[in-house]
Structure 1
Amino acid sequence: MRNRNSVQFLDPDWPDLPESVGVLCTTRRGGVSPAPYDDGQGKGGLNLGVHVGDSPRCVERNRDIVRAELPAEPVWLSQVHGTAVIDAGTVDVLAHAPAPTADASYARERGVVCAVLSADCLPVLFCDAAGTMVAAAHAGWRGLAEGVLENTATAMYGAGARDLRAWLGAAIGPAKFEVGSEVLAAFLVRAEGHEDLVRAAFVPVPERPGKYLCNLYALARIALQRAGVHRITGGDFCTVSNSGRFYSYRRDGVTGRQASLIWLR
């Protein structure tokens, strides 16, 4: 963690990150939003989501706080738990148009900031070994099951990237994410020879037949490796368990959103 004044950021443990790549991950601390979007300790929260019921003025001020740490206005997305990937460099962030509907974006130009919001879903940041392309993906269980990470890698390969690596941000941890059998079934549909690995990511809850504890981090690693991404780090935080640092929809219901952002310097 890194503190700047009253704002707390999460510094990714990403040892092979190229010097040309910038990364910023926010927490809930250091903004101006009131409860239930606060910092969990009675002070202003750094909610960055415009769609969660918070005051638009508070969200704008919070985004200004984050913007001061970045080379440009982020390319915010309208996330729908889908698999669409866009080229962030094609978005005019100054046009005040509605945010593009997608759950991932990539960038090849310096200063274009890819961003995803989350509050239990898994944010995944990508870059190539040469430090010439970056991407950010929002992977809730639906998007993860349907291929949002594979689509992101495919888009980067198609744009010329090679030797991709990824970092897994803060998400609901495997001890807190209880799901039904339909979630397991959704992942098995696209398991493609990895059925045993997929099943291992779902631990039955003995006292609740048909319920499982789901490991999003393990499922993301399966998806990434299937897409040819083998250098994977992160996956060390649980949003539900750490109310003092992270927003969590599963824990609180009405809550804010933190952001994971990446760009080329």
Structure 2
Amino acid sequence: MTVRARTAAAYPLTWLYAPGDRPRVVAKALLSGADVVIVDLEDAVAPDRKDYARAATADLLADPEHPVPVHVRVNALDTPPGVKDLSILAALPGLAALRLPKVTSAEQIIHLAQTTPPTAPGTTPLHALLESALGIERAHAIATAHPTLRGISLGEADLRADLGVRGDAGLDWCRSRVVVAARAAALPPPSQSIHPDIRDLEGLAASCAHGRTLGFLGRAAIHPRQLPVIERAYLPTEEELEQAETIIKAATTEQGAQALKDGTFIDAAVVAAAHRTLALARRR
């Protein structure tokens, strides 16, 4: 029986990966409570399982209705599996967006946006994953390449290997670079890359808290048990909600810029941030 698609969250916080060659896992992911499910045809699928994963994903996407939006991470664009992924999947009605790995140039986005899907060029939303030093250096050019590009984010495992950095803090400059590029391009804040240890929920929570301070919004996950931790970390706290309500009330009852009793200065940017906080709390 087909499950009616729910309205996509205005502020998605959880993006759950599921391997494309395991349809039962994908089916469970769709009912896990994640805001978005990403069917992975790339890293999670062995080379000898690529064809099966693609066929299983095509069966899934033949149905236009799912409990949550379904994205597909295709294989690298310059590889035969990636070309097959795009030719078979890009025009299917159940596809909400394509996630593109290892993007290094704006030209890749422009070419894909102009040619995929064949039945409606330029309409399939695209999300670029930056996973190399070259991709990071070109982050703003990629982010502004084409209107169908709806988001950028990091692939931290490959990026860490490319840069040879050690420790989590070694990627903070790259993280900030992507956050700034997304903002400059008027794209949504990026979601954080995965936390690979599914048992380390305390570490996940701490990492999410750090990501939030850097300007990320939400996070990709590889197991359903990570979803509540991510959501808690990124939803506004009671104090933040109270502060946002106070700011909006003051802005609507007084004329001009002013300061609250705690010294918080209120201007248009502060009010806009307060509205975003309340919208995030009401996102479902």
TM over 0.5: no
TM-score, normalised to structure 1's length? 0.37
More helix by share: 2
TM-score (norm 2): 0.35
Which has the larger Rg? 2
Q: Which has the higher contact order (CA 8 A, sep 6+)?
A: 1
